[in-house]
Amino acid sequence: MAEFTATPETDVGSERYTFNFTIRDSPTYFINVQAWGREEYIRALSESFRVGDCVTIENPLIQSKEAEREEKFNPVTPSCYKLLLSENHSVVKTSSCYEADARLLSLLHLPVKDPQDYYSLGDIVANGQSLNGRILNVLAAVMSVGEPKYFMTSDKRKGQRCEVKLFDETERSFPIVCWDNESIQLAQSWIPQETVIFASDVRINFDKFRNCMTATVISKTIITTNPETAEANVLFSFIRDSAQSGALHDGMKEQANESMNYALNVSFILVETIVDVYTVEQLKEKALQGDGKADPVYGIIYGYISTLDIDDNVSKVMRNRCSICRLVVNEMSNTCTFCSDVSPESKSTFASFDILVDVTDHTGTLHSCYLSDCVAEETLGCTVHEFLMLEDDQKTALKWQLLLERSKIYFKVSI
Per the confidence metrics, is the pTM higher than 0.85? no
Task: Measure the N-to-C terminal CA separation of the chain; round to a whole number of Å.
Answer: 25
Higher pLDDT, 142 or 336: 142
In single-letter form, the type of residue at position 259 comes to S
pLDDT band at 328 (very low <50, low <70, confident <90, very high): confident
**Contacts for 184 with CB less than 8 Å, ≥ 6 apart:** 148, 160, 162, 178
**Which pLDDT belongs to residue 50?**
87
**Contacts for 114 with CB less than 8 Å, ≥ 6 apart:** none
Given a cut of 60, whether residue 193 has pLDDT beyond it is: yes
Task: Give helix 230-245 / helix 247-267 axis angle, nearest 10°.
Answer: 80
Note the pLDDT tens digit of each residue in 340-351.
544 454 457 788
**Which pLDDT belongs to residue 6?**
43
In single-letter form, the type of residue at position 360 comes to T
Given a cut of 70, whether residue 367 has pLDDT beyond it is: yes
Note the pLDDT tens digit of each residue in 221-272.
999 999 999 999 999 999 988 877 766 655 555 554 444 343 333 344 567 7
Pair type for strands 81-86 and 30-37: parallel
Q: State the average pLDDT for the chain.
A: 82
Provide mean pLDDT across the span 13-33.
Answer: 87
Encode burial over 160-185: b for 16+ CB neighbours within 10 A, e otherwise.
ebbbbbbbbeebbbbbbbbbbbbbbe
Note the pLDDT tens digit of each residue in 41-98.
998 998 898 888 889 999 999 999 988 888 888 999 999 999 999 988 999 998 876 5
**Which pLDDT belongs to residue 338?**
56
Residue 217, classified by CB atoms within 10 Å of its CB into exposed (0-12), middle (13-18) or buried (19+), is buried
pLDDT band at 171 (very low <50, low <70, confident <90, very high): very high
